[in-house]
Chain A
Amino acid sequence: MFLEYLFYVLVFPGFLFASVLGLIVGWVERKVSAKVQFRVGPPFFQNFYDVFKLMGKEIVLIKNSPYFLFIIAPIIAFASVTITATLVGMSFFYQVGFGADLLFIIYLTVIYSVSLIIGGSSTGNIYSSIGAGREMKMVLSDEVAFILVLLVPIIKAGYTINLAQIINFQANNGMIIGSASGIIAFIIGIICVQAKMGMQPFDIAEAETEIVEGPLMEYSGPLLAFWKLSHYIMYVFFPMLLVILFWGGANLNSVGNVIASIAKYLLVVVLLILIKNTNPRVRIDTALKFFWKYASPLAFIAVILAILGA
């Protein structure tokens, strides 16, 4: 039993599988971005080369800074992201839930942001501090809308936070995206995922062209590789989570179903990438206003609709 769980965490839906799939999806992201900009784009193994190269570089530590926090932050982030990928992957591939899945996912995705804040503020660099502060504001702004979005499938599936039961409900009663509340929640969910992953309209914390990757600025070598891997693994589980919650999850019974599952996953990924490529970065106050003034009330309306049964 213990070995079985170890296999889940370290090999199949967890560490190894999520890393490899994440790096491949990272290539899809860079390739689609290149196509949008009329470029050729990087070769297939580019992200593997990048991460391997970073693994062999020197780690530069900053004098007079808390080394411990600086080193532990990417490791905590990577661990939390890997466990989330395991959880979501288990229900995506095996239709297995562990009980309080969604509650756990909410906590683990916040742990990633918290470790980003810790890592950024431990360096003492001005840009890193600005990035950490902005990440804090982003957590405050997108968290409410994200939790409200998660509430819609929970209510629809009969007040359960077990992912397997949500998939079962959709297998019997049709997909949640087919209802009015489902489609609103799905759209807000896509935007929330964009903010959670720090992608283009909401890459305020890691703005590469403005505050040079913010919290990641002082990181080098393997620690930076861990941050990059965590970011790519988020490409694996967030689209999977959206597919599970709103599109009935994956079905691996026949060849047609496998292709349909992969197509659903890739469609959500490409949608995220296209939103990323067609929107410029917004200011932090615009993002906060957007999430509190428009996204959260809309998600709240979706929740009320879900309670009423629409």
Chain B
Amino acid sequence: MAFYNKIIKKSIWVFHVSASPCNNCDIEILDLITPGYDVERFGIKLVGSVRHADVLLVTGITSHKVAPRVKQLYEQAAKPIFVVGIGTCTVGGATFKTSYNRAGAPLDKVIPVDAYIPGCPPKPEAMIDGIVKLLGTLK
């Protein structure tokens, strides 16, 4: 298993789950995959289908309407799968912390989360750092 972990670290296909965000983190994620940061250097690739994904990047507060969908996406993904919560919304709710419509408070209540990257929004550098730290826990 150690050898497989070594390989999976070098080939991370990322799926972007937009769970009722304010679009700020989503724009930063799109910024992350532009040529300026070039995450393909580390083997990180954005894929369109959850079946191909290794990491789910979840943004937003996960409202009651979208929570079952997020759970369904997690169940549909091919295991092993990691979940990364992007932005303060997934941890503490940021601007929406007193909202009545907050199922993911924090996101752990909906699906198991491996790492949080707080920030409103986090910079692409912070996201790369967070994902690298998550992969560093793999032995």
Contact = CB atoms under 8 A, between A and B. Distances in A.
Given A52-B7, A59-B78, A224-B51, 13 more contacts: A38-B35, A39-B38, A41-B38, A43-B10, A57-B78, A57-B80, A58-B79, A212-B48, A213-B48, A213-B52, A217-B49, A218-B49, A220-B78
Interface of B (DSSP majority class) = loop
Interface size class of B (residues with CB under 8 A): 20 to 34
A53 B38 contact: no
Contacts of A213: 47-49, 52
Interface in B13-65: 35, 38, 40-41, 43, 47-49, 51-52, 54
B44 to A, nearest CB: 10
Nearest to A45: B10
A169 B92 CA distance: 74
A46 interface: yes
10 contacts: A40-B38, A43-B41, A49-B10, A56-B7, A60-B78, A209-B48, A212-B47, A213-B47, A213-B48, A217-B48
Contacts of A53: 4, 7-8, 11, 54
Contacts of B51: 60, 217-220, 224
A57 B40 contact: no
Interface of B: 4, 7-8, 10-11, 35, 38, 40-41, 43, 47-49, 51-52, 54, 76-80
Interface residues of A, number: 31
Given A41-B40, A49-B43, A57-B80, A224 B10 contact: no
Contacts of A46: 10-11, 40, 43
A26 to B, nearest CB: 13
Contacts of A216: 49
